[in-house]
Amino acid sequence: MTTVETVGGEWIRRDGDNVTLTITRCHACDARWFPPRDVCSHCASTDVHDEPTGDRGVVYASTVVRAGPAAYRPPYVLSYVDIDGVRVLAHGGTGEAFAPGTPVRLGIGEIGRTDAGPLMSYVITAEDGAR
């Protein structure tokens, strides 16, 4: 496993072609959180541990952002994706929003660009590879 130096890179893990995220799971109530945290936001327990997600999820909701930070070069697609009990916000896709329920796979890609260069982070692509 290699930690990638990107936006949110401390939470991204890559093993070959497989990309996963680090989440926190609470031992007391089984709640799961992303980004990882030291205290459960549901029951306030500190009996938590970090673990990796799988590399696939399902789109909960998705939209095309047409007015956003210049670094992200709108329009771009943002989606809430359910992965192993957490709902994460992810960039990814081109043109159109994903339909709810679309199976997606995690990857790493360029989410924007500044004068300093590309902004890399985790991204999603449809499982069928269409987008």
Catalog residues that contact Zn ion under the rule CB under 5 A.
26, 28-29, 31, 40, 42-43, 45
Asked whether 99 and 60 are in contact (CB, 8 A), the reply is: no
Nearer to Zn ion, 49 or 113 (CB): 49
Q: How far is the CB of 102 from Zn ion (least distance, A)?
A: 30
Residue 96 dihedral angles phi and psi, to the nearest 5°: -110, 155
Nearer to Zn ion, 13 or 25 (CB): 25
Nearer to Zn ion, 28 or 71 (CB): 28
Q: How far is the CB of 57 from Zn ion (least distance, A)?
A: 22
Query: What letters, b where the CB count within 10 A reaches 16 and e where it falls short, cover 98-125?
Result: beeebebbbbebebbeeeeeebbbbbbb
